[in-house]
Chain A
Amino acid sequence: MSSTAGSTAIETGESPASRALRRFMAHKLAMFGLIIVVIFVVAAPLAPWLAPFDPLETSWSRLRKPPSLTHLFGTDENGRDVLSRVLYGARASLMAGTIAVGGAVLIGVPVGLVAGLGGKWVDIVISRIADAMLSIPFLILAIALAAFLGPALENAMIAIAISASPIFVRLTRGMALEARNTDWVEAARAMGNPPWRIGLVHVLPNIIPPLLVQATLAIAEAIIAEASLSFLGLGQQPPSPSWGSMLNSAQRFIEGAPWLAVFPGLAIFLVVLAFNLVGDGLRDALDPRSQKR
């Protein structure tokens, strides 16, 4: 036996990321959510091949037909196939969810890092702006911005991205402030790291887990927001399908043709639930305090 220390170290070098992945895989509900997410993510781009009908094709001969073998989800008030429209609608919803949240992260995280590490006055200015934005309810802000930008799916995504960004600013700033007082950040300073390197190389990788959880949950919120904006006519424009606008037109027929509302509603419910399950699973898997495995 040598005199060097280290012989007692665990022999398998497992990175924090791979440990989190293993724990996530063992989380049943999260995996269930992930499967649903994957189904939607795969189905959305494949909609042209999966959809049995053209989602825009109207037909006077099959108005508001209940679900049948030909039209599994029935047809709508213009004779369009609801299943095909739900499939195509998934594109609008998932795109709005992921792109809007991607935008919110791209705005929120750098700004939050600057606020948290940049010093007192930068922090005060940025935090007050973020607070002001957070004082307006998320959806109201998104509606106001979307109305200002004009009704279009792209504008709805921009509106959602801007409305969702202050949450990421606050979260990033808080964690950066916390990290700034740790010994390892002070060690990085003592080593001669310039401030940008401390932010990007040391602080950012350490705060990614909570950001990932927040982003997943924010996608669920953004999907609801897109549906709401489309419901109000501010998102995806007719005749292009979107779950929100489908719900909007369904409300006039809710008694005679409930399937018009049920299927897009169910799709929203499933996707939002799935993203929330994945988010919760990620939180459990990434939380260093949970001692499981």
Chain B
Amino acid sequence: MLELDAMVKHFPFRDSLGRARGAVRAVDGVSLAVPKGSVLAIVGESGCGKSTLGRLALRLIEPDSGSLRFDGEDILALKPAALRSKRREMQLIFQDPFASLDPRMTVEAAITEPLILHKLHRGRQRARVAELLERVGLRPELARRWPHEFSGGQRQRIAIARALASEPRLIIGDEPVSALDVSVQAQVVNLLGDLIRDLGLTFVLISHDLGVVRQIADRVAVMYLGQIVEEAPAEKLFRNPRHPYTRALLAAVPGQGGALKLLEGDIPSPIAPPAGCRFHTRCPYAEAICREVPPPLVQAQEAAGQIHLAACHFQDTLPPATPIREAAADARLARLQSFFIPNREPTA
């Protein structure tokens, strides 16, 4: 239902005389399709272009080229007014709940605004706000409060309620829990999971936190320097990562125990990405061809009936991936829960 094709967005920068001096190639030819009612996660390091991709998918920024379709409709062809009314159906949740709420609007005003803009629930907007607050686990009496009176987790719930207000079918969550305390993250992730299931939302989760991705994503796309390097059903990607970068990301999740070789060096500059495979500068398996020929994103041979794409010349000959130590991860989660949950209910 959401289709991006060959999306490109470069941010040019100029010298003091206004001459173009190059461009940050934030998104460099990305194609994705998110089926109705499914959750696609986009993962990658900071600066890989995943937030830009999220903004492009909502046409909050204009792409340099590519096409964007929502339910088959060409979003890039919409006139400003038509695009504004289309925004009712596609919403965004931001990373930082301390920045995404207008400080001069009460909770009620913030959540009512989409209703006013799209002429929804006329005459019963107040009741609708109360419903939405309850839906995200906040007391409706809090509607008259100001954003500065809430904690990060509560603010994020308010932002979620605001995103839900216009009954969108698509929501893009840009790192929706990354700014929250670990103890609150789990609650908000659970809330998002419930909402996605109950409301049949199509959801794009932009995140660098593989733990969160694992909990709610159906499919995962791994981004590196503005391009997708691997895309697969979530459980397949976690069980059998085919790209060395994906493997490195998975190995970097804490609690894996083993002495896995972690990524060395920083992500190269997106202004002048490496020739050939963009990952070759950090890849432990890189050979001559990787420095010259960009690998195409191709379907894996062995993926029976499922779409599993990877962009690596050697994806079929890599040594078997070290399996994720699921037990270790689960134990860690249990430990965290036992640590945090009693704190929420102090022993009387």
Chain B residues lying within 8 Å of A248, measured Cβ to Cβ, are: none
In the complex, the answer to whether B85 meets A7 with C-beta atoms within 8 Å is no
Q: With an 8 A cutoff between CB atoms, is B42 at the interface?
A: no
Interface flags, B91-134, vs A, CB<8A=1, else 0: 11010100111111110000001100110000000000000001
In the complex, the answer to whether A182 meets B99 with C-beta atoms within 8 Å is yes
In the complex, the answer to whether A15 meets B146 with C-beta atoms within 8 Å is yes
In the complex, the answer to whether B103 meets A187 with C-beta atoms within 8 Å is no
Chain A, Cβ-Cβ closest to B149: A10
In the complex, the answer to whether A7 meets B101 with C-beta atoms within 8 Å is no
Q: With an 8 A cutoff between CB atoms, is A135 at the interface?
A: no
Q: With an 8 A cutoff between CB atoms, is A269 at the interface?
A: no
Chain A residues lying within 8 Å of B142, measured Cβ to Cβ, are: 6, 9
Chain A residues lying within 8 Å of B151, measured Cβ to Cβ, are: 8-9
In the complex, the answer to whether A191 meets B149 with C-beta atoms within 8 Å is no
Q: With an 8 A cutoff between CB atoms, is A16 at the interface?
A: yes
Q: Assuming the A-B contacts A16-B146, A192-B88, A193-B117, are A5 and B154 also in contact, with contact meaning beta carbons closer than 8 angstroms in the complex? A: yes
Chain B residues lying within 8 Å of A8, measured Cβ to Cβ, are: 151, 154
Complex formed: what's the CA distance from A57 to B148 in Å? 60
In the complex, the answer to whether A192 meets B104 with C-beta atoms within 8 Å is no
Chain A, Cβ-Cβ closest to B138: A6
In the complex, the answer to whether B145 meets A191 with C-beta atoms within 8 Å is no
Chain B, Cβ-Cβ closest to A7: B139
Chain A residues lying within 8 Å of B176, measured Cβ to Cβ, are: none
Q: Assuming the A-B contacts A1-B345, A5-B187, A184-B102, are A190 and B60 also in contact, with contact meaning beta carbons closer than 8 angstroms in the complex? A: yes
Q: B150: which of A9, A190, A191, A205 is its contact (CB, 8 Å)?
A: A9
Q: A9: which of B85, B105, B149, B159 is its contact (CB, 8 Å)?
A: B149
Interface residues on B, range: 35 or more
Complex formed: what's the CA distance from A10 to B144 in Å? 12
Complex formed: what's the CA distance from A193 to B105 in Å? 15
Interface flags, B192-206, vs A, CB<8A=1, else 0: 000000000000000
From 173 to 217 in chain A, residues with beta carbon under 8 angstroms from any chain B beta carbon are 182-184, 186-194, 197, 202, 205-206
Chain A residues lying within 8 Å of B114, measured Cβ to Cβ, are: 191-192
In the complex, the answer to whether A4 meets B102 with C-beta atoms within 8 Å is no
Q: B137: which of A4, A188, A189, A197 is its contact (CB, 8 Å)?
A: A4
Q: A202: which of B60, B102, B345 is its contact (CB, 8 Å)?
A: B102
Q: How far is the CB of A163 from chain B (nearest CB, A)?
A: 31
Q: B145: which of A1, A9, A189, A197 is its contact (CB, 8 Å)?
A: A9
In the complex, the answer to whether A191 meets B104 with C-beta atoms within 8 Å is no
Complex formed: what's the CA distance from A96 to B114 in Å? 43
With A6-B142, A13-B149 known, 8 other A-B pairs at CB within 8 A are A4-B137, A9-B145, A16-B104, A183-B94, A188-B102, A191-B166, A192-B88, A205-B104
Q: Which 6 A-B pairs have the closest CB atoms?
A: A192-B87, A183-B99, A183-B100, A192-B84, A205-B104, A190-B92
Give the A-binding residues of B (Cβ under 8 A).
58, 60, 81, 84-88, 91-92, 94, 96, 99-106, 113-114, 117-118, 134, 137-139, 142, 144-146, 148-151, 153-154, 157, 159, 162, 166, 187, 345
Please, could you name 6 A-B residue pairs with CB atoms under 8 Å apart, sorted by A? A5-B137, A15-B146, A16-B148, A184-B103, A191-B162, A194-B81
